[in-house]
Amino acid sequence: MTAIANFVHELSTSVGTGAFALSTVNGRQSFNDAFGYGATEDVFHYFISNRDAAEWERGTGHLSGAGTLVRDTPLEGSSGDDTLVSFGLGTKDVTNSMPAGLLSSLLQSRYISVLDYGVFGETGVTGFDSTAAVQAAFDAVGDLNNIVYFPPGQYWLYSPITINKACIVQGPGRGVGDGSSATIEIVDAEDTGFNAFEVVTANAVVFRDLGFRDLLARTTGSCIYVASDGVDINLYSRFENLTFSYSPTCITLTAARLWNVRDCTISFQNYGIYYTNNDYPDSGDNNLSGNVFLGLPTAEACIYTESSLGMFLTGNKIFGAKRGLWHVAKGSTGIYQIVANSFEEQVDCFIEVQQSTPGVSFCQMNVNANEFSMQVYSPNPQPTADLITIIEGGSGQYVQRINISDNTFNINVEAFVNVINIQDGDGVVISKNVINLTDQPNVGGIATGGNVTNAKVLDNVFCGALNSQKYSGGLNSATILRDLDGLAFADLDSWANGSQVYVTDGAPTGGGDYTLDDGGSGALAARARGVWFALTG
């Protein structure tokens, strides 16, 4: 192949059609430095342009000496054909430049079509085994040719495809089996649970514009499984505009960080996204945005996460399954931002968080501006679950800095005990939530445990029937309450007994005893504002 090198540029004042004498340019390579000299012809590409006249020439040549360019094969020039240009007087720039046609062909070569490796991907050829040919296409991935393309059609996989190099897995557009999409058909007759694509590289892999479907009713396995290369964690992988049709688990990530799943339709039997990084505790900072999750009622969770660092969930529609988000916290620096999502029809709970690692405290979960809706399912005749539940999970450590605010809850079935239940946590804020309960007398409002400290419960709005209590459970340490008009003292007494309480606006009704911090006591009147007091029952 005719050679190309970086920053090759020299000058010449030679004239005519013969060889050119070259002189060096500061800050640039000479042709001799880049290619050497000798008798072999057509070693490199050259481009000559005259600064003082409308003369130019492109061709291939060689150096006969350290500073002598021989123009072996002219390809095009200002003469209008492929003959040597007779240059006149003036200074000429002589460079080694890539021809546009060659550059175009190199860009085209980035694409590896799976059809070039024997895959029969035409719709309707049921049962054709595409596995070996698809694997061959991925084995051919290099530094330049790193886009593996699946044209419209169906591709049957009977065993895993291994991806061990950075690449882009590209289809023609989202969809499953509709003729215009590329559908990966997963055939696992023995229900072995193999993963259709196993990514085992630390480098980024991008899946885009593909469909996945399990042809047989298998119970385990993932469409895409991401792991490390055995040494380093996978970084920056992306999953964009994909469609999954009720696979057991759609995407599993076991050693990955800074990944992004967006604009996907994720239908599943067990888990939509399953993310666990037990061997890589410092992984996190991941993003889920604009996706639609559709889980069967028996599915465990739309999103399961088990890690130490954070995640951002924004603009997702999370429908069905037992849980919307099930997070098991295993570290100390996580920030979970759950913002502007729609949670609908989860069987057990919308969000469940557990701190399961002794000795550390999961930090900062923000649940803001989401819509939570339960209108259909009523799976538990004697409900035992809560819509949002946060517990320490047996670790002895608490989740810290919990903020649940500006959310809307629309509940029309008696499928839960409480709307929000935080049993363990420090720095808890529950504020400005609108809780609509349509004639559900057996559903409670906000429940807290005795291990909740430094809490603020402010300006929440309740609509509809409750099980006689807006607030229940217990509190500890300093608590700030606001907008409590209409709350019976007995409810506050049972909820916050033993707490140091500061009422900023409004107070419970119905009387009752309280003790001021200065030792005074008396009946809790209809309004007590701007004072700390200790509830003693």
Distance from C-alpha of 162 to C-alpha of 497, rounded to nearest angstrom: 59
Identify the pLDDT of residue 309: 63
Question: How many alpha carbons fall within 13 Å on the CB side of residue 374?
Answer: 30
Please state, for a pLDDT cut of 70, what percent of the chain lies above it: 73
**How would you write 96-134 as a 3-class SS string?**
CCCCHHHHHHHHHCCEEEHHHHCCCCCCCCCCCECHHHH
| Residues 120, 158 within the same domain | yes
Distance from C-alpha of 134 to C-alpha of 142, rounded to nearest angstrom: 15
Q: Which of 264, 319, 261 has the alpha carbon at shortest distance from 294?
A: 319
Identify the pLDDT of residue 293: 95
Check which CATH number belongs to the domain holding 271 and give it.
Answer: 2.160.20.10
On the question of pLDDT at 209 being above 90, the answer is yes
Distance from C-alpha of 508 to C-alpha of 527, rounded to nearest angstrom: 7
| 167-171, 356-360, 361-365, 413-417: least confident range | 356-360
| Residues 136, 205 within the same domain | yes
| Residues 173, 124 within the same domain | yes
pLDDT band at 153 (very low <50, low <70, confident <90, very high): confident
| Residues 43, 142 within the same domain | no
| Residues 256, 119 within the same domain | yes
Residue 32 within a domain: yes
Q: Please identify which residue in the block is written with the tokens 């240009």.
A: 85
| Residues 274, 128 within the same domain | yes
Q: In 10 A of CB 513, how many CB atoms?
A: 13
In terms of average pLDDT, the best of 256-265, 392-401, 452-461, 495-504 is: 256-265
What's at 366, amino acid-wise? N
Average pLDDT in the chain: 78
| Residues 97, 231 within the same domain | no
Residue 172 within a domain: yes
User: Domain end: 241, 263, 280, which one?
Assistant: 280
User: Domain end: 89, 104, 119, which one?
Assistant: 104
CB-CB contact of 148 with 114 (8 Å): yes
On the question of pLDDT at 266 being above 90, the answer is yes
Mean pLDDT of all residues in 356-371: 67
pLDDT band at 254 (very low <50, low <70, confident <90, very high): confident
| Residues 114, 32 within the same domain | no
| Residues 95, 114 within the same domain | no
CB-CB contact of 328 with 311 (8 Å): no
On the question of pLDDT at 73 being above 70, the answer is yes
Phi, psi of 433 (to 5 degrees): -90, 145
Angle at the Cα of 50 (from 48 to 51), degrees rounded to 5? Answer: 130
| Residues 271, 128 within the same domain | yes
pLDDT tens figures, 76-92: 999 888 899 999 999 99
The two beta strands, 56-65 and 23-24, are unpaired
What's at 256, amino acid-wise? A
Mean pLDDT of all residues in 165-193: 86
Identify the pLDDT of residue 376: 58
Distance from C-alpha of 368 to C-alpha of 339, rounded to nearest angstrom: 5
Domain ranges, residue 81: 9-104
Secondary structure (3-state) at 408: strand
Identify the pLDDT of residue 530: 43
Distance from C-alpha of 59 to C-alpha of 77, rounded to nearest angstrom: 9
Identify the pLDDT of residue 228: 81
Please state, for a pLDDT cut of 90, what percent of the chain lies above it: 34
| 260-264, 320-324, 438-442: least confident range | 438-442
| Residues 42, 148 within the same domain | no
Identify the pLDDT of residue 230: 76
Structural domain total, the chain = 2
pLDDT tens figures, 116-143: 888 765 544 456 789 999 999 999 998 7
Residue 75 within a domain: yes
On the question of pLDDT at 231 being above 80, the answer is no
| Residues 132, 150 within the same domain | yes
Cβ-proximal residues to 235 (8 Å cutoff; 6+ apart), any chain:
202, 203, 204, 256, 257, 258
Identify the pLDDT of residue 9: 95
Question: How many alpha carbons fall within 13 Å on the CB side of residue 138?
Answer: 23
User: Domain end: 65, 81, 104, which one?
Assistant: 104
pTM summary value: 0.73
Residue 37 within a domain: yes
- Distance of alpha carbon 424 from the chain centroid: 28
